Amino acid sequence: MSIALITGGNKGIGRATAARLIELGHTVYIGARDPERGEAAAKELGAEYLPLDVTDDASVTAAAAELTDRAGHLDILVNNAGVTGAPATLDTLSADDMRAAYEVNVFGIVRVTQAFLPLLRGSQHPVIVNVSSLLGSFGSITNPYGQQYALFAPIYGSAKAAVNMLTVQYAKELPGMRVNSVEPGYTATDLTGGHGVQTPEEAGANVARWATIGPDGPTGIFAYKETIAPW
């Protein structure tokens, strides 16, 4: 049976991705730091709850050990947990605010990926999806005709650019796995203050599409819907 783990899976795009993967027949573990919210979401979706705080080494290590005991392997890892970071202008931008966002968006991916690699290596066709953003795309942010061009998002954008580089580095070192960044699309969630051009369900379908690619699928790419986005 295919096992999937989604970090930050109790709400928003993570929850919608979990729902879609369950529809497709996968056993899904929702990683969430809040037990009450995580357990409630898992119960509602028909998923399993896994206590997991991506900013805490001990929590991530314990989660990997628990999943080892419960499932013995992992086929799909969706690094979805993320924050936008503190609102910043050129005058208010600070290293402390950057560090807080990177702790979740960047260092969290490294913690989780490193801890769960042994379980992924136990899969016949392992897949890692790093949820990213076109705000972290140099090609998009420098395109004067694109929607991202006018936005000042140094914290979130630079964190997602780092995520994209992590994707490439992991893909090169793990040729037996499919490792890709995915832009789920501008989605109306708590993260965006309810603004967006699509529903969480549509975004979740986008992420799930790339989480379920076969062993002959692409690796080391930045995907947007059914296309490849510029780095």
Question: What is the C-alpha to C-alpha distance for residues 126 and 201, in angstroms, rounded to an integer?
Answer: 24
Q: How many angstroms separate the CA atoms of 175 and 107, rounded? A: 22
Judge contact between 63 and 52, C-beta under 8 A. Answer: yes
- Can you read off the two tokens belonging to residue 107? 């260092």
Q: Which tokens is 74 given?
A: 């992992």
Q: Which of 78, 73, 75 is nearest to 30 (CA)?
A: 78
Which residues are catalytically annotated? Answer: 156, 160
User: HSE-up of 52 (CA within 13 Å, CB side)?
Assistant: 33
Residues contacting 164, CB < 8 A, separation 6+: 130, 132, 136, 137, 181, 222, 231
